Structures are given as structure tokens and as C-alpha cells.
Structure 1
Amino acid sequence: MAHEPLAPEELLLEGFLALDTPEGYRAEFIEGDIVVKPPPDGDHEGCISVVMRQVTRRSVTDMDVSGHKGLKLERGSRCPKNHVIPDATWAPRERRLFRGAEPWMPADGVAMVTEVTSLRADRDREVKRHCYALADIPLYLLVDRERGSVTLFSEPGHDDYQQIVTMPFGKEIELPEPFSMTLETTDLA
């Protein structure tokens, strides 16, 4: 019996899933593009460390965090089969979301994703933001090193986040439930 040929997007996705990237590199499949990123620089990792340290110590909800966890974002028509790797993915510890998860897991139950801008900042500011909103991830925290700011996107709906708060480095930003905490940004500069 003959098989139907794969649609171009399905063929690309199949090729993406078969990639063998060099050690330290990360590959993502975003809006039909395969994006391979080199290992992050020390300043990038320093920013992630600042956020992780504060959230794990100050959040009122006990959180699990996964650095570089693969998420399958399959909701919506703009981002039908995206495979993204946030710099940090947060979920309430009681959910045990990361235990036994496949390398690419659905975003159901994720409380927040965090990205720190690097070479292609516009992808974090725009494309990933829309993909996270379409997947109904409640909070997206963007540390924008170029602009010297932190932005919290919340209330996903209508292909984007409906609430956007941006603070320059050095100012505090409030993370709502389930975190219910103040994130200090002075050490991000």
C-alpha cells in the first residue's frame, strides 16, 4: 500500500527531530524554521542564574525548574508544531511535571517560561512570545540584555499576552501567583 507523501512542514519537522546537533548546541523548530543556537555566553547564564536563585528562594509556591527543557507547543494555527527550548521552565513542584517527561513535552501545567536574549533577540521578543501565548503558558519572563530591561507577559489570549509590564534593570518587577514575589533586577545589569 502506498503512503501519502508528507506535507512540507511535516517533512521539515521529521528532519528536525532527527537532527544530531553538536555538543552544547540547541535546535528548535519555530514556525517552520529550524534554528540551531550555539552554547550561551557567560553573561546569558549569569542572568538565568539570578532569576533561578531568586524564584527558588522567594516564590510562595515550591517550584521545580528545568533549564533548557524541550516543549512541544501544538495549539493554535500560527504555531502548530513548534518545538522550543526556553532558558528556564517553571512548574509547581506538586505537579511533578518534569519527572518521566519525554525530551519534548507538552506545555500543560507549565507556570512560567523564562528567556534571556542572545543573538536573535527579536525571536524571543516576538515569535516565541506569540508561541508561548498560543500554548496558554500563563507567564513569560523576558530578560532583554540589549534593552536593559525585564518584561513580564501575562494573561495569554488572542494570539498574544494581554498584560505586559516592562521594567529597566535596577527596578523590581512583581511576579503574580503562583509565585507571588518581587524579582529584583539590579544583578542583571
Structure 2
Amino acid sequence: MLGIVEGLDTPAGYKAELIRGKIVVSPWSKLRYKKVMKALRLQLEQHAPEGHDVDVAPFLFTFPGSERGYGPDLHVADETAFEVEGRHADGAALSLAAELTSDSTKDVDWLDKMATYGQIVPVYLLLDMRVGEINVMWDPSPKGYRSRTNVPFGRPVRIPAPFDFELDTSGFGVPEEQSAEDEQR
């Protein structure tokens, strides 16, 4: 299945992921989310674990035994994961995955990705762009994340180890008129 995902010629602006053994094609993030992703990336770069890279590049991370292959909106991963041949990185290399969720992706981001990331990825950030809040999950276990907090955009939020810093979310909001326009589309 991963070979098929890899070989897909997705339309411009779309990505393919492997979710529950099914190939799912969804749009890349909205252009207006770039500012938020950049602010998040710049803050995470200062606190990333040694040897870990922060990027928004469209890499597919696989999770053996789970029939999943995700391309997080933003990831922090051990650089050695990208020194191997192939096109799929090992999900165990992730120290953080971040998703900017919208109406079209929220179910997958909240349910499927949180369950998969929650078993192996130390920190999962889910930015709910419609509600205007950031959810931080950490302390993975075989049953999922043991800890979670959320704050509205505009307030700082603690990003736990291995990052251990206060994330400034003051620039993460989307103007209300833009949110209303998106709902009508």
C-alpha cells in the first residue's frame, strides 16, 4: 500500500496518506496557515532535541504494524531518519508531530492520528484553527497519550520534554471574517 501511496500523482495542493489501511487524499493546509506554521517552526527550532530537524516538508512517516503512513503538517524528527534509502521515514524518529486541523481533517487528526501518535510520538500538537486553540498531548503509552492540555490562541502553553519551553501562540489566530468566509466555501 505504501508503494501505491508513493506512486500516486496527486493533484497540486493535495497529499496522500495511508489511514487504517486505506489511501486518503486530502488538501494541503490553507495558505493562511503558513504564518502559523512558520511561527511554530521558528519557536520549535530553538528548543528541538540535539540532532532533530524541524520541517514542514511533505514526508510520509510510517508506523509499522498499524497500516498508517502520515505526512504531518509540521514535524520534528531525528535527522538520521532521512539518511536511509526510500521515501518513507520511520514514525519512531518523530519527537513531535503537529497538525493544523480544519473541518475536512479534524476527525482523522483528533481520532486516528492521535491514537497512532499517542503510542510512540513524545509530543503531539493539534492546532484547531476553527476553534482557535492549541491542544498539547504528551507522555505516549500503548493506550495513547496520558497527558493533555489546551489553551486558546493568544495565551502561552508549555511544550513538555524533550522541548521544555513556553510556546507563544499570540500570532496563531485567524481573523474572524476569514473564518466565516471559509465556512461558507
The match for 2:18 is 29
Structure-1 separation of matches of 2:21 and 2:111: 15
Aligned equivalent of 2:62, options 65, 68, 72: 72
- 2:45 is aligned, of 31, 48, 56, to 56
1:123 to 81, 88, 108: 108
Q: Which residue of 2 aligns with 1:4?
A: none
Contact 2:138 2:160 in 1 (8 A): no
2:158 corresponds in structure 1 to: 174
Question: TM-score w.r.t. structure 2 length?
Answer: 0.82
RMSD: 2.0
Gaps of 5+ in 2: 174-185
Post-superposition Cα deviations, 1:46-98, rounded to whole Å, max 9, x if no partner, equal 221110011113x16444113232100124xxxx2211100111035xx5333
Q: Does 1:164 align with 2:153?
A: no
Letter in 1 for 2:72: P
Within-5 A mapping of 1:1-189: 15-57=4-46, 59=47, 61-62=49-50, 63-67=52-56, 68-75=58-65, 80-91=66-77, 95-100=79-84, 102-118=86-102, 119-134=104-119, 136-189=120-173
Is this contact kept in 2: 1:30–1:82, CA < 8 A?
yes
Following the alignment from structure 1 to structure 2, what is the Cα–Cα distance between the partners of residues 159 and 30?
Answer: 18
Name whichever of 147-156 and 21-30 sits farther off: 21-30
Give, in whole Å, the separation in 1 of the partners of 2:167 and 2:85: 29
SS in 1 for 2:146: strand
TM-score calculated relative to the size of structure 1:
0.80
Task: Name whichever of 31-40 and 81-90 sits farther off.
Answer: 31-40
Q: Quick check: which has more Rg, 1 or 2?
A: 1
Aligned amino acid, residue 43 of structure 1: R
- Aligned-partner residue type, residue 96 of structure 2: M
Q: Is the 8 A contact 2:81 2:90 kept in 1?
A: no
SS in 1 for 2:140: strand
1:133–1:159: 8 Å Cα contact kept in structure 2? yes
The 3-state SS of whatever aligns with 1:137 is coil
AA in 2 matched with 1:52: R
Give the % identical residues: 26
Instruction: Count residues in correspondence.
Output: 170
Q: Secondary structure at the match of 2:161?
A: coil
Amino acid at match of 1:87: D
Structure with greater contact order relative to length (CA < 8 Å, sep ≥ 6)? 1
Q: CA deviation at 1:107?
A: 1.4
Deviations 1:131-178 (A, max 9, x none): 1123x1111011111121101111111332110111111111111222
